[in-house]
Structure 1
Amino acid sequence: MSKITQLKSLITLLNEFKMIGATNQHGVTRCVYDEHWILAQKKYAEIARNYGLYPFVDNMGNVYASTSKDINKQPVILTGSHIDTVINGGSLDGTYGVLSSLTSLGELVQQHGTPKVPIVSVSFSEEEGSRFDATFTGSRYLTNQFDESILSLADNKGVVFETARQLAVTELQHEMPIQEYWNIGKYLELHIEQGPILEQTSQNIGIVTGIVGQKRAQIKIVGQANHAGTTPMNMRHDALRQAIELISNIHECLDDVADLRYTIGQFDVLPNVSNVVPGEVTFSLDMRQLNQDILEKYFAQVENIVHQYQGTIEPTTNVKSTKMSDELQKILVAATEDHELTYTSLPSGAGHDAQVISYKIPTGMIFVPSIDGVSHSPLEQTQDDDLLNGQHVLKKALYKLAY
């Protein structure tokens, strides 16, 4: 074990990382493999070394910090989140979980020595899909769920994923060794809620019970573009009018389904000029539900409604819902009670690395309140006390699992 330097506070670290990729709009842009991302991953590894931990990187650019140099003897406990952000996003989404895990490991080793079960903090390379049209590539790679076709994707400047990956990982290799092929026994992730429930119910901690399934699609209605002044109303094939009626029927179908959340967030009209009858409309649909059967049932009903309007519906995302480990939920509850904090159990309406990992490995997840429920925005905030509460619960849970 290398010499441990003075540990920085979690809040200090969050403020330092907030500056890596800071934008003029008071947000943060740190996309996978860009210069700010590389700087953040290097800084994470530097802090790990200062804390007496052992940093390493894999071939996807996930960076790790372990309490033990040899992690091949038994399954480890993994904890962390993702280091990338959305464009002009907040400073806490992902980064809070990364730095809380690193801080917890540093404090545990300083206070209790090397754990019986190795603990590994992870700074996942990517989760948001902000640069390439692919999400969760870091956690998918780690758990052997990575789709090789992603390697050929290009960003909006024409840079190919594989080229960017090779350059970034090569640079990180100068700072730390590459390591692959080790076993994970359990995974814990700490995250801001990104919603209003904990704040509105005055709860310190959220114990996540599961993560919703997601189905997304692009829906298209084709009519006939025509002259706005010479085409009689009863002879028009107005795609926009049909789309409005279709959307009204989707609302009627889905509005009263318990615990279902759906959003129509993108809307494109062609030719989109004031004096032409709309000839084509495309809009998005995002549906989320913890009960996968209910999600599938109502997505099928939407498909039927679309076909009644002679429209087409093209699925673009299909992520299955997942439940968190009962055992880890109990440990997280006990850790919360040890700190005399209030808590509630709730599902996550957003996707997380924990969702991908839970398909293969027992997983637990902790939420802390988000001010006004805002996230993916420069206005994303959480009170310092709440941030520290979450880190204390994570640290206590790791202690219970590893010491």
Structure 2
Amino acid sequence: MRGVVVAGRGRPGPEPLSGQREWFAALVAAGVSNSEACRTVGVNRKTGTRWRYGRSIPAAGGGLLHYAPVLRPRDGVISSRYLSEQERVVIADLHRGGVSGRVIAAELGRSPSTVSRELARNTDPGRRYGAGVAQARAVLRRGRPRPRRVERDVVLRVFVQQCLDVRWSPEQVSHALSVEFADQPARQLCTESLYQALYSRNPFVQRTLRSRRWRSRRRPHRHPDARRPARHATPLVMIEDRPASVNDRVEVGNWEGDLIMGPGNRSAIGTLVERSTRAVVLVHLPDGRTAVAVRDALVEVFAAMPAGVRRSLTWDQGTELSAHAEITRILSLPVFFCHPHSPWERGSNENMNGLLRDYFPKGTDLAVHPAQRLRAVADELNNRPRKTLNWATPAALLAAHIAALPSASKSIVVRR
């Protein structure tokens, strides 16, 4: 494969796609959509998007590395996607002569819907369409760059930053704004506005509005030592045998569990999510992820729970839970197993594992985190409002349930 040798390195890099880039720019300037231009040129759609808008990727030393757009519009030149003043003159002349919109569109080489919208927007009550008036209205409607509200409003920016500091999502921040500033519509932002602010190329916004590092892309791969579906010596009770009350999320106390892994699967953290309240418990595994270590850690965690919130556990078929029969015997806790390659059967747990990667990034050693750190992360997540809970917090719901339990259900029963 041909390439370009990078200065100071012996390994050649990929050859620049200069010709395809110029072809792509010409198609975009002619009004072709981004997807169609990418198909014509023969590049991935994401490549075309990066050429047009630039991109930001995580830098090695922290923060973001920004790449400017490769294709820049000429100053003062509006894309040919939009109607020009000359085209509006043609529309006015033909429309005045009684020509239909479809015929006008064919004359201009435009879509009939483009001409239809133009006439609907700029025809006055007397059914007259003037090219000069239409052009002036189009110029007024054209977007102008303006400061974002999080730039202008210090109070708003501070509140948003406080939410981002505890890793709330933009949707959660948006809901919190509608509650905190219920009588101030100017300080309420929709989810998309917050996303736009987070991805803004404005240096001021980048410096003042910090957030968790969003994943730029996902590269699916499988390592040779990655986990495979395990064969258990003890027969498994499959997920379809769970009671209906577990599937319906009616009862509190039905947990989904899994492990998040460190590099080379040499370290792990256990994750437990309660299906009804979405409360999370992180399991410290200082002795590794062997079946004995996971058994002892789960017994210790569940033994500290009231019996009324310890009803069942659902896990995947990893070898770390080979001692499931002992867990059931000691805790009187039935264990159910998902089917191989079916993570959606533990959807709440998989969602939580994704959130946990903000605190424990992939490729980092998970053994360095003490039990106190795991409790602090779990507390932060359990005090985060959740849309699926009607913006209540898992901690509040679980505490209310435990408070309402009868005395017998609050007792701890463990058989060794």
The alignment's TM-score, normalised by the length of structure 2, stands at 0.22
Give the structure, 1 or 2, with the largest relative contact order (CA under 8 Å, sep 6 or more). Answer: 1
Structure with the greater alpha carbon radius of gyration: 2
Q: From the two aligned structures, give the one with the greater helix fraction.
A: 2
The alignment's TM-score, normalised by the length of structure 1, stands at 0.22
